[in-house]
Amino acid sequence: MPSKKIGKVNIGKKKVSILFLDGEKLDIYPNVYLEFPLYKNKELSEAEYKAIKKRNELEKQYIQLLNYSILHITSIQALKKRLIAKKISEADANKLLTLLVESKAYSEKNSFEEYLEYLNGRNYGQKRIVLEMEKKEFPNEYINSLIFDYSNERQKADNLVKILRHRYKTLANQKMKEKLYACLLRYGFSNEVALATIQALDGQNLAAECSEAIRKCFDEAVYRYKEKYFGKVLRVKVLNYLIGKGFNLEDIKKVMEENDYAFN
């Protein structure tokens, strides 16, 4: 490629336009313009021309990287993989990441702490938090430095149970506890914390909630079957419906007796 001579340079706020005498127009970022001596009648060799274009592409990737790191909670390793997936060489990826860190616009430590706050806010337990941190590819030194206080884990587990109890309010007492226990384990709490949380549930409140749930299901069953069945057959249908919901037989009988559906 022969040398290219600059005919005009237009400087704007967001870009600088280089107009060559051969009619080509090259738009570059202001930072790139400041790194190269570009002016009217300047002749660029092929090597200089390619160097400017390559530097401009890196600047474009840096701006995209910067915007992504601002909008997303991420790690250096995840950012590097993202760059390499865009066909950027490892050397250039490292250069871009160095620029990002040195600009102080991104801090991996701050991103880690922000994500930790988010996970705790979701009432995740220790195991789930570690797993999510590993998925984000944060450094092991950060993850291994985490300290999980038992009382804090219990508080998060209690908060989660308060939210989930509403989800399982139509279930029998024991079945509700089993569901809640399984959820606590899925949320990453240790077996010790999960068991202690379930055992600490207020039995009287659970009993009241269970009775209310049985009454609600009883009404649903009666409404469903009363037009088609009557007498003993109706009572059996209602009974089987409530048993199928997982309620305790004695609790079911009590509710049915209260509504004159008792078995002789």
Q: What is the pLDDT of residues 186-220, one digit of tens each?
A: 999 999 999 999 988 865 466 666 677 788 888 88
User: Which H/E stretch holds residue 16?
Assistant: strand 16-20
Q: Which of 187, 196, 238, 231 is nearest to 215 (CA)?
A: 238
Q: Which of 216, 262, 223 is nearest to 239 (CA)?
A: 262
Whose tokens are 């790194």? That residue is 35
| Cα end-to-end distance, the chain, whole Å | 103
User: Which H/E stretch holds residue 227?
Assistant: none
| pLDDT the model gives residue 108 | 95
13 HSE (CA, 13 A, CB side): 0
Given a cut of 50, the residues of the chain with pLDDT beneath it are 204
Beta bridge partners of 44: 4
Whether 242 and 216 have beta carbons less than 8 Å apart is answered as no
CA distance 173 to 213: 10
CA distance 4 to 21: 8
| pLDDT the model gives residue 246 | 66
Model pLDDT for residues 223-249, shown as the tens digit of each residue = 888 888 878 888 888 888 888 776 778
Whether 16 and 33 have beta carbons less than 8 Å apart is answered as yes
